[in-house]
């Protein structure tokens, strides 16, 4: 393969094979990925011209910049050719979310968005008693969607969903009860008494009228509130003319409730129904994107996002700008402001998994190519508006203010947390050269009288708790209540493989291992580390002080050092307490969940084949709850209507 003259092996020391691969790249749109010696992904980028863009990294001497630091680490490259730059943009951001590269702006959202769910309905059967399937139910929902139901959202928070449900109850009086509750009611519940439900469970509303209320609720969620008011007024007057004053009064009350809701919501929507407002703030090497949502003309609230790798990505993006447009001379790069880079990264990554509204109101200008790619992906026209007017401007100013407040809060918290990390490192003579990589793992044991013993391991790194790396361990084969044996088992399981990987240079041990306990637990940890050939200086135990009072804890070490009392007001002790308490919380929640599962036989009635809502309700009514069913014999279970002998035995086996 001929060597390209522009990528001859420079002083950077890249392998000839890599440089030859760069020289052989096509002048086509695509996506490229850089990898380091450990196989970690350094950077994911897109290009209109792969050859020109990638060669730019290897042609120049980038010195001691972040780009130069990244380029020196590149040992391998992968590329994917696509048909257009829009395809490259979508693939790039899918890969960024999947691979978590170190030099890309990366947004992480561990929680899915909540939705308002309106269950599907079937037509009523003449002569049948009220059935749940005939009357749709409104509910809070988070998870995968099903075609048979209708979903509204996404909402920025659970509070926004529940507030909307409350509005729908006040105005349209739709039910919120579970189907099993609905099918077993014999008289209206309290919600009917306080005019929050029309009691379809006992026939107080006809299926036709309930279907009309459901349709109006959907229209309200879609922003057609004024149309609903007009129609209700016409129907009210028609009833009054026919001297049907009771029906007219019902509609009057519904109109009054709806008007009150509209007044409380201050519905100055200016014609907008579904809009996302995006404001970005960058300060102190950190960034915040504040997303405010308008759905059905209602401002539902906002949510703040904090990307990682902002500083790294800014320098790399500046290099990319030099080859971003073939018509632009290299001497005149059109580098974007960091705010625009952060905002475009958010839009590209966020709307991969979340429905995008037709209008985005943005604090920074957004590339037309990005909006075209979003439109192609969704199949509908998506428009980004910069420098809006009237109501949109008010929304954007609110979002910008909130972005600034959220970022200031984050910087204050991180500054405090970094001070705690440094204080602990200084107190325990831990490495101070790079506190961002300082890793602490903490273990705790939890059980109830020896039952359902679990151990937890929580991780602190980059000045915060890293909950994606938390682990729980089920402890088995020990004497109930033997915390020392439990600690031995969890440490052995945790560090046996890690010790071997660390010796081979494939992994890094934590800088500190905390165990919740005094000399006994530390002695057990020392035995495990001695068997595995690990440094005893890594181990510290958190021993409760005199009278077990908070703030009097002391640190006990496995390598023979004297105890250390950090002081009640010490920043280091605050960090130790934070990590210890998190390990305890994580262990407690896992233990309780396991104990509850054990006590009901590790199953739920819903998981048993042949148990539907009616049989489940009958069983719960007969035995008073799941524990009563679990304590019953198969013969007793078989006496319930609809439960055969074979099904009773299946239930008994499942719960035991």
The percent helix, strand, coil of the chain (3-state, each to 5) is 50, 15, 35
Q: What is the pLDDT of residue 99?
A: 87
Q: What is the pLDDT of residue 606?
A: 64
Average pLDDT, the chain: 81
Q: What is the pLDDT of residue 364?
A: 93
Nearest CA among 497, 496, 483, 478 for reference residue 455: 483
Q: Give the model confidence (pLDDT) of 217-267 as tens digits.
A: 888 777 776 777 777 777 778 777 778 777 777 777 767 766 665 544 444
Q: What is the pLDDT of residue 333?
A: 43
CATH numeric code, 275-306+350-408: 3.30.420.340
Q: Where in the chain is the domain with CATH 3.40.1440.10?
A: 5-99
Contacts of 584 (CB under 8 A, 6+ apart): 444, 446, 456, 516
Domain 600-654 fold: DNA polymerase; domain 1 (1.10.150)
Question: How sure is the predictor about 89, in pLDDT bands with cuts at 50, 70 and 90?
Answer: confident
Is the pLDDT score of 444 beyond 50?
yes
Question: How sure is the predictor about 390, in pLDDT bands with cuts at 50, 70 and 90?
Answer: confident
Is the pLDDT score of 78 beyond 70?
yes
Phi and psi based region of residue 511 (left: phi greater than 0; alpha: psi -120 to 50; beta: remaining): alpha
Q: What is the pLDDT of residue 330?
A: 38
3-state SS record for 335-396? CCCHHHHHHHHHHHHHCCCCCCCCEEEECCCCCHHHHHHHHHHHCCCCEEEECCCHHHHHHH
> Domain 435-598 classified CATH 3.30.420.340?
yes
Is the pLDDT score of 414 beyond 80?
no
Question: How sure is the predictor about 429, in pLDDT bands with cuts at 50, 70 and 90?
Answer: confident
Question: How sure is the predictor about 492, in pLDDT bands with cuts at 50, 70 and 90?
Answer: very high
Q: What is the pLDDT of residue 328?
A: 39
The strand ranges marked E within 197-320 are 275-283, 286-295, 298-305
**Can you identify the CATH homologous superfamily of domain 5-99?**
GIY-YIG endonuclease (3.40.1440.10)
Give the range among 52-61, 286-295, 490-499 with minimum mean pLDDT: 52-61
Mean pLDDT, residues 422-441: 85
Is the pLDDT score of 616 beyond 50?
yes
Q: Where in the chain is the domain with CATH 3.30.420.340?
A: 275-306+350-408, 435-598
Q: What is the pLDDT of residue 321?
A: 58
The Cα 123–Cα 134 span in angstroms is: 6
**To 5 degrees, how large is the angle CA 470–CA 473–CA 479?**
150
C-alpha 431 chain-centroid distance: 32
Question: How sure is the predictor about 331, in pLDDT bands with cuts at 50, 70 and 90?
Answer: very low
* Burial (0-12, 13-18, 19+ Cβ within 10 Å), 73: middle
Q: What is the pTM of this model?
A: 0.63
The Cα 173–Cα 169 span in angstroms is: 4
Tokens 């439900």, located at residue: 197
Give the range among 330-344, 346-360, 459-473, 631-645 with minimum mean pLDDT: 330-344
Give the range among 569-573, 609-613, 637-641 with minimum mean pLDDT: 609-613
Is the pLDDT score of 9 beyond 60?
no
Is the pLDDT score of 101 beyond 70?
yes
Q: What is the pLDDT of residue 109?
A: 63
Mean pLDDT, residues 563-581: 84
Tokens 């700008």, located at residue: 321
Q: Are 537 and 559 in contact (CB under 8 A)?
A: yes
Q: What is the pLDDT of residue 601?
A: 43
The Cα 297–Cα 271 span in angstroms is: 8
Q: Are 442 and 515 in contact (CB under 8 A)?
A: yes
Q: What is the pLDDT of residue 314?
A: 63
Q: Are 426 and 564 in contact (CB under 8 A)?
A: no
Tokens 């952060």, located at residue: 342
Contacts of 149 (CB under 8 A, 6+ apart): 117, 118, 119, 120
Is the pLDDT score of 336 beyond 60?
yes
Contacts of 283 (CB under 8 A, 6+ apart): 407, 408, 411
H or E segment at 139?
Answer: strand 138-141
Nearest CA among 30, 22, 28, 27 for reference residue 5: 22
Q: What are 193's two structure tokens?
A: 């008494």
């Amino acid at each position: 393969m001929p060597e390209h003259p522009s990528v001859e092996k420079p002083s950077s020391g890249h392998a000839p094979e890599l440089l030859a691969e760069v020289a052989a790249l096509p002048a086509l749109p695509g996506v490229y990925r850089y990898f380091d010696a450990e196989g970690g992904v350094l950077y994911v980028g897109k290009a209109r011209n792969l050859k020109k863009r990638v060669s730019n990294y290897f042609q120049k001497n980038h010195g001691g910049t972040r780009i130069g630091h990244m380029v020196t680490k590149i040992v391998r490259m992968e590329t994917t050719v696509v048909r257009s730059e829009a395809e490259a943009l979508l693939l790039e951001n899918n890969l960024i979310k999947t691979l978590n590269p170190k030099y890309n702006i990366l947004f992480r959202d561990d929680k899915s968005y909540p939705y308002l769910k309106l269950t599907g309905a079937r037509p009523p059967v003449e002569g049948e008693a009220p059935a749940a399937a005939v009357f749709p139910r409104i509910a809070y929902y988070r998870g995968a969607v099903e075609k048979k139901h209708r979903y509204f959202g996404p909402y920025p928070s659970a509070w926004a969903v529940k507030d909307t449900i409350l509005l729908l109850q006040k105005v349209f009086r739709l039910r919120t009860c579970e189907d099993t509750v609905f099918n077993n009611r014999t008289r209206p519940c309290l919600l009917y008494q306080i005019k929050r439900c029309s009691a379809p469970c006992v026939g107080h509303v006809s299926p036709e009228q309930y279907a009309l209320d459901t349709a109006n609720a959907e229209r309200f969620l879609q922003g057609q509130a004024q149309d609903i008011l007009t129609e209700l007024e016409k129907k009210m007057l028609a009833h009054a003319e026919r001297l049907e004053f009771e029906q007219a009064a019902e509609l009057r009350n519904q109109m009054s409730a709806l008007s009150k809701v509209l007044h409380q919501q201050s519905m100055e929507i200016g014609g907008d129904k579904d809009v996302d407002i995006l404001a970005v703030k960058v300060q102190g090497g950190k960034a915040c994107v504040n997303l405010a949502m308008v759905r059905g003309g209602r401002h539902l609230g906002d949510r703040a996002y904090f990307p990682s790798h902002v500083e790294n990505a800014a320098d790399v993006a500046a290099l990319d700008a030099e080859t971003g447009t073939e018509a632009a001379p290299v001497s005149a790069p059109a580098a974007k402001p960091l705010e625009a880079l952060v905002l475009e990264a958010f839009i590209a990554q966020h709307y991969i998994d979340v429905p995008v509204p037709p209008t985005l109101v943005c604090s920074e200008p957004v590339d037309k190519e990005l909006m075209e790619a979003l439109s192609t992906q969704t199949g509908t026209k998506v428009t980004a508006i910069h420098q809006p007017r009237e109501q949109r401007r008010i929304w954007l100013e609110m979002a910008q203010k909130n972005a600034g407040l959220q970022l200031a809060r984050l910087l204050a918290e991180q500054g405090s947390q970094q001070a705690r990390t440094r204080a602990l490192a200084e107190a325990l003579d831990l490495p101070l050269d790079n506190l961002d990589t300082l890793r602490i793992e903490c273990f705790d044991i939890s059980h109830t009288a020896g039952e359902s013993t679990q151990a937890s391991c929580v991780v602190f790194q980059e000045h915060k708790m890293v909950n994606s790396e938390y682990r729980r361990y089920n402890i088995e084969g020990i004497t109930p209540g033997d915390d020392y044996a439990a600690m031995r088992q969890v440490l052995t399981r945790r560090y046996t493989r890690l010790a071997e990987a660390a010796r081979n240079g494939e992994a890094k041990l934590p800088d500190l291992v905390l165990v919740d306990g005094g000399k006994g637990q530390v002695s057990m940890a020392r035995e495990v580390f001695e068997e595995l050939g690990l440094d005893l200086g890594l181990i510290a135990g958190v021993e409760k002080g005199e009278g077990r009072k908070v703030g009097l804890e002391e640190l006990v070490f496995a390598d023979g050092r004297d105890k250390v009392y950090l002081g009640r007001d010490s920043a280091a002790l605050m960090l130790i307490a934070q990590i210890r308490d998190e390990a305890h919380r994580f262990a407690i929640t896992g233990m309780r969940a396991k104990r509850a599962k054990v006590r009901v036989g590790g199953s739920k009635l819903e998981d048993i084949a042949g148990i539907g809502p009616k049989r489940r309700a009958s069983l719960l009514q007969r035995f008073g709850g799941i524990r009563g069913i679990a304590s019953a014999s198969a013969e007793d279970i078989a006496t319930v209507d609809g439960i055969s002998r074979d099904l009773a035995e299946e239930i008994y086996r499942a719960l035991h």
